[in-house]
Amino acid sequence: MKAIYLREEGWTFKAITEELDIINVSQAKQWWYWYRDGEIDRLSQPIGKQYSFGHGPEGSTLEENLIIRNRILENQIKILKKYSKMEKKWYGKYLLI
């Protein structure tokens, strides 16, 4: 989760792996993609361990998953708002011509 928080703050994957002593940059990227895609249960999955589709580890609670899911949705809303503003600027340039 620390790697994900750093990525949300704008850190590069290389900087995150150096800061947290993660051996492979692709591992930090994979965690970010799982978080971004809402596959939160996979974050607590041990390395080399795969769970059946739709099933997470026994220790994850519904409350923890809801908190993380809420953060994902909030981030998606922020991205959509930023894109909407950019889109208005793009179309505004073409409408003035």
Mean pLDDT of each 10-residue bin along the chain, 97 residues long: 88 92 89 84 66 53 78 87 83 65
Do 59 and 46 touch, CB atoms closer than 8 A? no
Q: How many CB atoms lie within 10 A of CB 69?
A: 12
Among the listed residues 10, 7, 57, the one whose alpha carbon sits nearest the alpha carbon of residue 31: 7
User: Tokens 């340039």 map to which residue?
Assistant: 93
At residue 58, the pLDDT reads 52
Name the residue ranges covered by the structural domains of the chain. Answer: 2-95
At residue 94, the pLDDT reads 66
